Structure 1
Amino acid sequence: MPRWEAARESDRESDRAERRGGERRRAAGAGRKAKLVFTDRLLVTLTHLRHDLPHAALAELYRVDRSTVSAAVREVRGLLAERGFAVPTGPRYA
């Protein structure tokens, strides 16, 4: 598991365990695999932020569902903001 995924999981594990009602039942990394590798998620996000392309257009370019692009943008924007990169906020950029 990449370092950023491990950190994300450990930061939220106690919250997740509380919502689940106990510890995880499957090993970390089990379950559905990402349709876009991290570099593609980063590129999708940067393209969206820089050129303001709609998620549907990016989904066509990367041949994935629009919801996959939306999830990638939401995830990577948070990572960029945590590291001090200026990320536009507001309803237009959600």
Structure 2
Amino acid sequence: MLEKAINERVDEIAKQKYFLTYVELSRYLNISKPIIEDRLIKNGLKYYKVGSKYLFKKVEVDDFLDDITACMNATNNDLKFFNKLKQCAENY
């Protein structure tokens, strides 16, 4: 039983995507491409360009969002007005 559970988890991990396209990232975060560009990329989200395609490492997206939300506080928690570099400097 344990071996079956381990194999199922390994299969699940293997199916996870390493890179996300704009469309996949938009679905993953449930936000539009313009918001990704205006609020995330302008605040430092890394991307990789392959030809005309932009790709995002899923693990970097998760780390970036963890980092950016850690810099937010109760009165400044709207990505629309958030500037990561400025806000993090004020918090530290």
Normalising by structure 2, report the TM-score.
Answer: 0.26
Higher relative strand content: 2
Q: Which has the higher contact order (CA 8 A, sep 6+)?
A: 2
Mark the structure with the bigger radius of gyration: 2
